[in-house]
Amino acid sequence: MASNQPAPEAPSSFRTDSFGDEGRTWEEWNPTEESIRPVRGRHRVAKQRGLARSSTVLGVGVIAAVGAGGMATAQSKPPVSISLPDSIADNLPDAKSLPGVGAFMSGDSGSDHETVAASSPLTTAGITAAEAEQGSTDAGEALRARILQQAEQQQAGAEAEARAAQEKAAVEAAASQAAKKQSQAEADAAAEKKAAEEAAKKKAEAERLAKLAASYAVPTSSYYISSSFGQAGPMWSSGHHTGLDFAAPTGTPVKAVHSGTVKSAGYSGSYGYRTVLELDDGTEVWYCHQSSMDVSAGQKVTTGQTIGRVGATGNVTGAHLHLEIHTADGTGIDPMSWLRGKGLTI
Residues 6+ apart with CB under 8 A from 280: 259, 260
Rounded CA-CA distance 140/137 in Å is 9
State residue 41 phi and psi, 5-degree precision.
75, 5
* pLDDT of res. 105: 56
Q: What is the mean pLDDT of residues 315-342?
A: 94
Query: How far lies 109's CA from each of 72, 88, 103, 106, 122, in Å?
Result: 21, 28, 8, 8, 21
Amino acid in the structure at residue 302: T
Per-residue pLDDT for 248 more than 90? yes
CB neighbour class for 1 (10 Å; exposed up to 12, middle 13-18, buried from 19): exposed
The region of weakest confidence among 104-113, 221-230, 282-291, 315-324 is 104-113
Average pLDDT, whole number, for the chain? 76
Distance of CA 163 to the CA centre of its chain: 17
Residues 6+ apart with CB under 8 A from 275: 254, 262, 264, 265, 286, 287, 290, 293, 295, 307, 308
The region of weakest confidence among 43-52, 77-86, 168-177, 282-291 is 43-52
Which helix (H) or strand (E) segment is 321 a member of? Answer: strand 320-326
Going by C-alpha positions, the residue among 59, 66, 54 that lies closest to residue 26 is: 54
135-184 residue pLDDT tens: 666 777 888 888 998 999 999 999 999 999 999 999 999 999 999 999 99
pLDDT band, residue 211 (cuts 50/70/90):
confident
DSSP 211-223: HHHHH---S-SS-
Rounded CA-CA distance 65/202 in Å is 104
Q: What is the mean pLDDT of residues 328-341?
A: 94
Going by C-alpha positions, the residue among 24, 98, 28, 19 that lies closest to residue 56 is: 98
Which helix (H) or strand (E) segment is 206 a member of? Answer: helix 139-215
89-125 residue pLDDT tens: 566 666 666 655 555 555 554 444 444 444 445 455 5
